[in-house]
Structures are given as C-alpha cells and as structure tokens.
Amino acid sequence: MKTLELAAQNTQNSNVTQWVEEMAILCKPDHIFWCNGSDMEKEELTCEAVDKGVLIQLNQQKLPGCYYHRSNPNDVARVEQCTFICTQTREEAGPTNNWAAPEEMYRKLYGLCEGSMQGRTMYVIPYLMGPIGSPMTKVGIELTDSIYVVLNMRIMTRMGNVAYEQLGDSKDFNRGLHTMLDVNPDRRYIAHFPQDNTIISVGSAYGGNVLLGKKCLALRIGSFLGRKEQWMAEHMLIMGVESPVGEKTYVAAAFPSACGKTNFSMLIPPKQFQGWKIWTVGDDIAWMKPGPDGRLYAINPEAGYFGVAPGTNMTSNPNAMKTIQRDTIYTNVALTPDLDVWWEGKDGPVPPKLTDWKGNPWTPDSKEKAAHPNSRFTAPMHNNPALAKEVDDPQGVPISAIIFGGRRASTIPLIYQTFNWIHGVYVGATMGSEMTAAAAGTIGQVRRDPMAMLPFCGYNMGDYFTHWLKMRKHIKYPPKIFSVNWFRKDDRGHFLWPGFTENMRVLKWIVDRCHGRCAAQETPLGWVPKAEDFDMEGLEDHLSKLNEAQEIDLEEWKREVISQDELFIKLYPDLPRELIFQRELLIARL
Ligand code: SAT
Ligand code: MN
C-alpha cells in the first residue's frame, strides 16, 4: 500500500480517515481506492471488473449498460447460520438470533482479516441509506475488497461524496468491513455489533451477506437503532396507490424474501381499474417514524432493487422488466449465445442452447435449472417507470395501511383486516411462510417469520414485539393492519387466487377501508370484505375460488394456533403479555 493512498481524497473527517487507516493496517491491501460516486469512476471500475473477469459485458444492443456476474456456487444466498448478533449479552440478541460475545467475535474476525487484502485493493464506499437531507437517513461506510460489491452498492444506495457531505465531521456512521477471503463457507461470518454500529462480513461475496447497507445496516442494525430512537426498520415494500380522482394512499407491506414484494410494489392495475395507478416507493425495506401530524411516515432507505430474476416476466412484473433493460447487474442467471440473459419463467420460448449459472452448457433437456432459483438483478430505482416521485422526499410518505403476508398453501385467507393495532401486531408476530431459495435451508417448509423479520431483527424478537406495541403510543393516527395470502391452494394444488395484477382488487378494498368507504364483515380472524364491496368485475368466473380462498377452516386454525405456540414458547420470557391475551381472544372467537 502506498502511504499516499491513505490520505482520503474526498473527506476531511478524521473519524473516517482514522478508521480506514486502522482497517488498512489490519487487512494490508496493496491499494486503497476512495470511491467518490462519479460516472467516470463507475466506468473505470466496470472496465476493471470486466478485465479481471468479475463481470461479463452483456449484449449492449439488447441490454445497454448491463453486466453479468457468476458467484461461487457455494455462495448463492444469505446464510442465516453464519449470521451473528454480537450484543453484550445473549439475552439482548434473543433466542432467534445466533449470538457471540463482541470481544470474542472481534478477535476471531480481526484474526481472519489480518493481511486478508494482500494483493487486492480496498475500496472505501461512502453511502447514504435514505434520501439526501432526510433526518431519517443514515450514513454508512463500507470497506470491501470486492469490486462487484462496489458496483452493486453504487446501484443500491446513494453512494459517493453525498455521504461525506451529509456526515460532515460527525462520527455517527456505520462501519462496515467486508473481505471475501477465499469465499469458503467454513470461514463465513456476517457479524453485527449493534452497540458499535459496526458490521464485519467475511468469506462471502453474495447479496445480503455483503451489500452491507441492505439487510445488515438497514434492517439488523437499523431495527436496533430504531428501538433506541423510537422508529421502525421493517422488511416492507412501500407503494403509493393513486385513485382515478388523484387521491394518494400509501401502503407498506411485509412479505418474507422471494415472496413477491418487488412484483407487488410495481403492480400495474388490470384494465377494469382504469385511472388507478401504483407508484413504487420501495420494494424491500421501510424506515418508519411518527411525523408531527400524528401519522407514521416511511422512507425507502435504498436506491435500487436487488430482485429475484426467476419468474419475472411481462405478466408477473412488466415494470421490473423495463427497469432491468439497462444499467443492471445480473447475478447467477443463464446466458444465451448472443449474451442476452435468461431465467426460468422469462417470456418467450426456452432457448435451445444456454450457458447455465455455473458456466456449463445447458439445453432444455438438462435436469438442473439454467438460472439459480435465487439469481438476482441489481437495478437502479430511477429506471422504474412507476417510480414514485416522493422517493427522494426527505419527509417520506404517510402510511395508511400495513399488510402482512406469507406464502401459505392453506389456512390463511386471501385478505382480512385486523381489529386494531395490538391485534395487527399479533397477526404480524405469528406470521408463517414456506421457505424460499433466498436463504440456505429447506425450501417449502413453513416456518414462523414474524413481520418477515426473523432473519433480520438485530435484537431480541420479544423486545421487538414490545417495541411495535409501544410505537402505538407515539402514532396518533396508526395505519390499519391487514393480512394477505396470495398463495393459498385448492385440494389439487392449484392457486385459488390469480395474483399479480389482480392483487389490485385486494389493494383497492384495503384503500377503501383506510378511507372508511366500505363496511366489512366480522369473522373470528378479523374483518373480511362483503361481496358487494370487493370488485370482481371481469373476474366473475373466479367467484367460487375467491370464496374458497376466503374460507376459515376451524380445524386448520386450531392446528395453526398450536403451531404458532412453538415460536411463542421459544420467546416466552420476553414475550409481551398483550400477545398472549390476543392468542386467548383468538381461541375464544374460534
Ligand atoms: O440477499 S438479500 O438478503 O439481499 C435478499 C433477500 O433475501 O431478501
Ligand atoms: Mn428482502
């Protein structure tokens, strides 16, 4: 490392420079590269990534500005067993997180980082999570030896000198250190030190493990800070629903990874809904804080989409298809001979010849998938034709409804509204979902995933529920809370609800309920739509299936409550009593 490179080129903040210097002395990179976020820098780094074989340039006629990356086949998803919350005590992290004592973890990881960047460059990435100038925005600095991480962070966050400008001479920034080592799963750790606002990630080069602004800062550290500072960091999309008369209603929705948040946030209403429009504020993460007018305001801390490619097509998500036509990085999808991208569920016929995500020749007869089921696109939000203009508003948008949804083949109806905030918190807390390819594990098995935050809550889940309950006191006009399930199936395994664009019908009922425009029918679970208030125009032959999708089967619900207990028992010492009472009330109603 040349001593000259230690001198930061674009910040005078000694809290930053000293920390970078310490980490550089530890990791011993050959060079330090201080990112400024400029277009020239992007070009330079992209060329370098192509030269080194980290990126492959895609067909520039078809996909201008797009590049392709293959990750190590052992490194294709988040790994929850390697993810640690290092609070002072085990209780603070709670029974749903892996815990290690901070001193011990620092010692272990600094040991692994020692000399880890020899022969490599250390990139210094300053970034903002949140709109420029927002009081809710947080500054992060990620040090990484992966040029792929730099180019992804550039899309996913507001990256570059803007972050130093917002930081000024403050020491209040997230310190993120990432080093790939030899991408060995046995030496893979994603460790969070919430009390120090610090993250150390080693041994991976993939997605949520290494783009430290996303799950690590915006959710795990964010949720910890939110509890301390009276706001909420949630795994939620944010959308604006505009009616034909221009009324805008903002909705936030929590679904587990790979359950369709990106699709829902970019929904295009079916033709029966002329004049309605959906605007995307965010597709994955919401930071929410009570505003001076007593409403709950939300910002999207991100600036791009890290979306699942398989299943994305002109039917499931036309806006995403337009978004990813340019300036996008594709990871682990398949390639056509003319360097276009392909994945299972893309429009058009299956190409006769492909190169699969591992780099092997592939034909339609091949037994394995051409694209990895968790293959992704990283695309700038400004490409989205439905991007909400409020996305850069430092104030955020006022949330009228919160939706909880999982992937459930049975039991959970298509839509119901909870009776009140506490009941809504209970419904969020007991959410279950079938596991997807977004995390390493058994796909298809139902697990409890409270508020879709099980892998992302940076402290004790019981305390997290208490935080949700307490927030009610600070929100004069709390959002109404709903439950949805797009994934219920009939006896023969067919989906009962067509989903995608038709989800607009459910959304419209939610919006109408928020504005007190329609009555509802009470059931043991909550309020459900009356037939006359639920718009099925043009979908009349689906009415019997809709009724089936709305069915409340008491036997299934008894089993459901018992299966919810597994999580409650695990969290029992810290579980707020209100949730136990809610459980009793539900059983009584059933
Ligand atoms: O890999 S990520 O964690 O960024 C995506 C997800 O699992 O939601
Ligand atoms: Mn997510």
* Domain limit, last residue, from 174, 203, 229: 229
78 lines ligand 1 (CB under 6 A): yes
Q: Does a structural domain hold residue 67?
A: no
Give nearest CA residue, ligand 1 atom 2: 208
pLDDT digits (tens, 9 = 90+) for 331-341: 999 999 999 99
The pLDDT value recorded for residue 4 is: 58
* Any domain includes 584: yes
Based on the fold, state whether residues 349 and 430 are members of the same structural domain.
no
What pLDDT sits at residue 346?
A: 98
Between CA 54 and CA 113 the distance in angstroms is 22
CATH number reported for the structural domain that contains residue 328 in this entry: 2.170.8.10
**Is 35 within 8 Å of 150 (Cβ atoms)?**
yes
Would strands 236-242 and 277-282 be described as parallel, antiparallel, or unpaired? antiparallel
Strand partners for 288: 232, 298
CA of 439, nearest ligand number: 1
Q: How many whole angstroms separate alpha carbon 10 and alpha carbon 65? A: 27
Annotated catalytic residue, options 66, 113, 259, 514: 259
Query: Helix, strand, or coil here: 558?
Result: helix
Alpha carbon of 208 to ligand 1 centroid (Å): 5
**Does 472 share its domain with 557?**
yes
Beta carbons of 177 and 199 less than 8 angstroms apart: yes
The answer to whether residue 45 sits within a structural domain is yes
Pairing of strands 232-234, 98-99: unpaired
Query: Which residue range is the domain that position 198 belongs to?
Result: 2-51+78-229
* Domain-ending residue, one of 381, 400, 431: 381
pLDDT number for residue 436: 85
DSSP-derived secondary structure letter, 568: H
Domains in the chain, number? 3
pLDDT greater than 80 at residue 441: no
Residues 538 and 568 occupy one common structural domain: yes
444 pLDDT exceeds 90?
A: no
Ligand found nearest the CA of 214: 1
Is there a single domain that holds both residue 292 and residue 345?
no
Is 260 near ligand 1, meaning CB less than 6 Å away? Answer: no
| CB contact set of 540 (below 8 Å; sequence gap of 6+) | none
- Domain co-membership, 254 together with 338: no
Q: With a 6 A CB cut-off, is 214 part of the ligand 1 pocket?
A: yes
Residue 19 CA to ligand 1 centre (angstroms): 28
DSSP string covering 248-309, please? EEEEEEE--TTSSHHHHHT----GGGTT-EEEEEESS-EEEEE-TTSSEEEE---SEEEEE-
Residue 249 and residue 284 in one domain: yes
Question: Whose C-alpha lies nearest to ligand 1, atom 5?
Answer: 208
CATH number assigned to the domain comprising residue 498: 3.90.228.20
Report the nearest atom of ligand 1 relative to the CA of 257. 8
Same domain, 289 and 332: no
- Give yes or no for residue 97 CB within 6 A of ligand 1: no
Q: Closest-lying ligand to the alpha carbon of 436? A: 1
Active site residue 259: yes
3-state DSSP assignment of residue 323 = helix
**pLDDT level of residue 2 (50, 70, 90 thresholds):** low
pTM of the model: 0.97
| Residue 208 neighbours by CB under 8 Å, 6+ apart | 78, 214, 215, 216, 306
Q: What's the CA-to-centroid distance between 67 and ligand 1, angstroms?
A: 20
Say if 70 falls within a structural domain: no
Percent of the chain with pLDDT over 90: 96
Q: Indicate the average pLDDT of the chain.
A: 97
The Å distance, Cα 127 to ligand 2 centre, comes to 19
Strands 174-179, 341-342: pairing is: unpaired
> What percent of the chain has a predicted confidence (pLDDT) above 70?
99
Residues 399 and 447 in one domain: yes
**Are the C-beta atoms of residues 127 and 493 closer than 8 Å to each other?**
no
Q: In what order do the strands lie in the sheet with 341-342?
A: 341-342, 334-335, 354-355, 361-362
Residue 46 belongs to domain with CATH number: 3.40.449.10
Structural domain contains residue 415: yes
Residue where a domain terminates, one of 381, 396, 422: 381
Interval 223-276: pLDDT, tens = 999 999 999 999 999 999 999 999 999 999 999 998 999 999 999 999 999 999
376 lines ligand 1 (CB under 6 A): no
Q: Please identify, by atom number, the ligand 1 atom nearest to the C-alpha of residue 235.
A: 8
pLDDT (0 to 100) of residue 3: 57
Q: Is 330 helix (H, G, I), strand (E, B) or coil?
A: strand
* 58 within a domain of the structure (yes/no): no
Quote the pLDDT of residue 45: 98
Q: Based on the fold, state whether residues 159 and 32 are members of the same structural domain.
A: yes
Q: Is the pLDDT score of 145 beyond 60?
A: yes
- Kindly give the number of the ligand 1 atom that is closest to the alpha carbon of 207: 1
Half-sphere CA count of 402, side-chain side, radius 13 A: 32
pLDDT tens by residue, 506-537: 999 999 999 999 999 999 999 999 999 999 99
Ligand 1 within 6 A of 102 CB? no
Cα 468 to Cα 115, 234, 472: the distances in Å are 43, 11, 7
Question: Counting every residue, how long is the chain?
Answer: 590
| Whole-Å CA distances, 270 to 263, 455, 498 | 14, 34, 12
DSSP structure string for 395-443: T-EEEEEEEEE---SSSS-SEEE-SSHHHHHHHHHT-EEE--TTBSS-T
Same domain, 426 and 277: yes
Q: Domain check: are 350 and 488 in the same one?
A: no
What atom of ligand 1 comes closest to residue 215's alpha carbon? 3
> What is the DSSP track for 154-222?
HHHSEESHHHHHHHTT----EEEEEE-TT--GGG-EEEEEGGGTEEEEES--SHHHH-TIIIIIIIIIH
- Beta partners for residue 277, in sequence order: 242
Using the atom order of ligand 1, give the atom closest to the CA of residue 77.
1
Ligand 1 within 6 A of CB of 261: no
Evaluate whether residue 339 is within a structural domain: yes
384 lines ligand 1 (CB under 6 A): no
The minimum-distance atom of ligand 1 relative to the CA of 214 is 4
| Rounded-to-10 torsion of CA 174, 179, 183, 188 | -50
Question: Which pLDDT score is estimated for 440?
Answer: 79
CA-proximal residue: ligand 1, atom 3 (nearest): 208
User: C-alpha 142: how far from its chain's center?
Assistant: 19
Q: Per the domain annotation, does 56 fall within a domain?
A: no
Centroid of chain to Cα 226? 17
Regarding whether 425 and 541 lie in a shared domain, the answer is yes
> Would you state the structure tokens that stand for residue 402, as one six-digit string?
């919160």
Distance between first and last Cα of the chain: 68
For 342-401, the pLDDT digits (tens) are 999 999 999 999 999 999 999 999 999 999 999 999 999 999 999 999 999 999 999 999
> What tokens does 10 get?
């674009």
Separation CA 354–CA 359 (nearest Å): 9
Neighbours of 491 (CB within 10 A): 7
Beta strand pairing call for 158-159 and 121-129 = antiparallel
Which residues lie at CB < 5 A from ion ligand 2?
Answer: 257, 284
Kindly state if the Cβ of 257 falls inside 6 Å of ligand 1.
yes
